[in-house]
Amino acid sequence: MPDQLVVDDPVCASDSAERRVWRIKSRYAMPILFVHLVALLAFVPWFFSWTGVILFVLGLYVFGTLGINLGYHRLLTHRAFSCPRWFEHTLAILGACCAEESPTVWVAWHRRHHHVADQEPDPHSPLKSFLWGHIGWLVIKSRHSDAGPLIERYAAELASDPFYGWLEVSDKWLRVALLTWVIYFAFGFAAAIIGGGATSDAIQFGSSLVVWGAAARTVLVWHGSWSINSVTHLWGYRNYETPDNSRNNILIGLLTSGEGWHNNHHADPRSAKHGHSWREPDVSWLTIRVLMMLGLARDVALPSPHLLAASKPRDART
């Protein structure tokens, strides 16, 4: 993707002539509030189960690392590797289960971000404010995040694909995400009944799987993704002199399986490997290496050999 602002891009036009009136996007604000409220039930003992906690931990990897990091980000957005179509679609479904929008919209947003990173048309630059970059851009209306024109410009190939088009129709991607909640509850309820438990026990166990395995996991994946937009454009160190404010953040790098090495990523967006040294562990990259051994990942893009020569001395990073 180009990394400079295109002057004749109508989507890039300034907001200066528009009235600065905050309008809430209920499409995102209400579901975000609801899922957070359900996730808070994890602090209520009645909703606890060790099975729910196990699903929570596994879900962070299966849906967060495989679905968002590999599927939505490194594969669909940057085409950092290729894989069989059935596997690409599987990763896309896992990403949709995180309820971070459809693959097509997510890709359009992220490609737009790389095109005009930390400039006014960036959908989620934290230079306006930390909260704007973290969540404000999602819940407050702005034409810079209007999916319609962005899809046409940045994700046309996905919009024309029958599978991704199917996910867009009537928000089927969201129905896929909600289906996982239903499956968790149904599994927990049935397992308790088969084990001889009472109906109240079955409801409790099924609810614990929803609260921990679905809601709490979704909230943590959300904030991990949002922190890439906010934290890693404000705090951390820089290996490379990129034209944006991207930074490598150790905490976010560890919490998001390697996505937090954001300056490295902006320096070479197509690379499948974001951690460029042993000090920058990248679980997502290690997963891609396993997929390569299994024959499920090929044409893997590696960091440019010129990057290391252009990196800043460690004592000069801020």
What single string gives the DSSP state of each residue in 202-231?
Answer: HHHHHHHIIIIIIIIHHHHHHHHHHHHHTG
Beta carbons within 8 Å of 295's beta carbon, 6+ residues apart: none
Please tell me the distance from the alpha carbon of residue 304 to that of residue 121, in angstroms, as a whole number: 28
- Hey, what's the torsion of the CAs at 58, 63, 69, 74, to 10 degrees? 130
pLDDT at residue 178, as a whole number: 97
pLDDT at residue 298, as a whole number: 97
pLDDT at residue 309, as a whole number: 64
pLDDT at residue 306, as a whole number: 78
- Residue 237 pairs in a beta bridge with 248
pLDDT at residue 1, as a whole number: 39
> Is the pTM higher than 0.85?
yes
In this structure, what are the phi and psi dihedrals at residue 140, rounded to the nearest 5 degrees?
-115, 130
CB 245 within 8 A of CB 127: yes
Beta carbons within 8 Å of 115's beta carbon, 6+ residues apart: 1, 2, 3, 5, 6, 154
- Residues of the chain where predicted confidence (pLDDT) is lower than 50: 1-19, 313, 315-318
Could you write out the DSSP letters of every residue in 50-114? HHHHHHHHHHIIIIIIIIIIIIIIIIIIT--SB--HHHHHHHHHHHHTTTS--HHHHHHHHHHHH
Rg (CA), the chain: 20
Q: How far is CA 97 from the centre of its chain?
A: 11
pLDDT at residue 316, as a whole number: 45
The SS3 call for residue 315 is: helix
Which residue has 């990073």 as its token pair?
317
CB 118 within 8 A of CB 128: no
Q: What is the pLDDT of residues 164-216, one digit of tens each?
A: 999 999 999 999 999 999 999 999 999 999 999 999 999 999 999 999 999 99
CB 248 within 8 A of CB 236: yes
243 C-beta neighbours (distance < 10 Å), count: 12
> How many CA atoms are closer than 13 Å to the CA of 284, on its beta-carbon side?
35
Q: What is the pLDDT of residues 222-250, one digit of tens each?
A: 999 999 999 999 999 999 999 999 999 99
Q: What are the respective helix, strand and coil percentages of the chain, to the nearest 5?
A: 65, 0, 35
State both tokens at 103: 């693959």
